[in-house]
Structure 1
Amino acid sequence: MPQTPSLTLPILLVVLAGAMIALQAPTNTMLSRAGGSPVLAALISFAVGTAALGVAWLASGHRTGLAPFGALPWYAWIGGVYGAVYVAIAAYAAPRLGLAALITVGIGGQILMALWMDHVGALGLPKTPVSLTRVIGAALVVTGVVLVRKG
């Protein structure tokens, strides 16, 4: 009987990543206030993040040439734009909405987009049709957003 891989490590890593997103908004808000611009704050954040990723990549010893990237569709290259938009908006919105509301509203948006992408099989994902159970789950998250915002 084949063993299924443990999901413990991926789940813990995603919890850590989620915590980092919560830390990112207030630190970028500090940059935004100092520089007077959420876009400049996002630029600084991405420059530091790019340097950190460069160090991690160099330390990994993995050296792929550029050839595999040439066959990718144009939209494979714009993933960083989504992150940049999020970081700039979060730096602007965090002091106005509060951190908990920012995160929960963002998660609501992520779930809605994920449901649609799963449903149509966007960007090479396997198709997972929208079901009543999934819609109820999304509705509960949206309800949570409302409760956190009103709380």
Structure 2
Amino acid sequence: MNPTLVFPILLVLLAGAMIALQAPTNVMLAKAGGSPVLAALISFAVGTASLSAVWLASGPRPGLAPFGALPWYAWVGGVYGAMYVAIAAYAAPRLGLASLITIGIAGQILMALWLDHMGALGLPRQPISTMRVVGALLVVAGVVLVRRG
């Protein structure tokens, strides 16, 4: 393995673990507040405060001018995250955490295959191949095994 990839891989592994932690903590918020949407709002408010503190402490910051040239769809990424957090807070107690995560990963891989194939949103084009489809099918098989287990 390329040694320069070890650190990013470990970071992504940690990020994945935090996604698994996020759902049950947001379930606690949803139960207390009676709403998965309120739980997502609280989660994003805390996340926004955390990111703001890190950004403010991180040295030089660009002005706002570069953002003006972005297409409208560059601005909606937070909507996807908010929807995921609210849906996870709703679905985790109904499906179980392992099912929630594996189904979510299956959805991510299917969307990633399509985005890669299309070269959408500025990504380099990576056509769908037999091996990539087999990999995606193995993830879907994993979802079935986790649900039946």
TM-score w.r.t. the length of structure 2 is: 0.98
How far apart are the structure 1 equivalents of 2:11 and 2:80?
A: 21
CA RMSD of aligned residues (A): 0.8
Deviations 1:53-111 (A, max 9, x none): 00000110132110000000000001000000000000000000000000000000000
- Mapped to 1, the partners of 2:17 and 2:51 lie a distance apart of 18
The CA distance in 2 between the partners of 1:71 and 1:28, in whole Å, is: 35
List structure 1 segments (4+ residues) > 6 angstroms apart after TM superposition: none
Deviation at 1:5, TM superposition (A): 6.2
How far apart are 1:32 and its partner, in Å? 0.2
How much has 1:142 moved relative to structure 2?
Answer: 0.2
Residue in structure 1 matched with residue 146 of structure 2 by the alignment: 148
Residue equivalent to 1:12 = 10
Partner Cα separation in structure 2 for residue 55 and residue 18 of structure 1: 22
The equivalent of 1:106 in structure 2 is: 104
- Structure 1: state its 5+ residue gaps: none
* Identity fraction in percent: 80
**SS where residue 4 of structure 2 aligns?**
coil
1:117 matched residue in structure 2? 115
CA distance, structure 1, for counterparts of residue 103 and residue 141 of structure 2: 10
2-structure distance, mates of 1:118, 1:5: 25
Q: What's the counterpart of residue 76 of structure 1?
A: 74
**TM-score between the two structures when normalised by the length of structure 1:** 0.96
Q: Structure 2: which 5+ residue stretches go unaligned?
A: none
Aligned to 1:126: 124
Letter of the 2:116 counterpart: D
Q: Does 1:59 align with 2:57?
A: yes
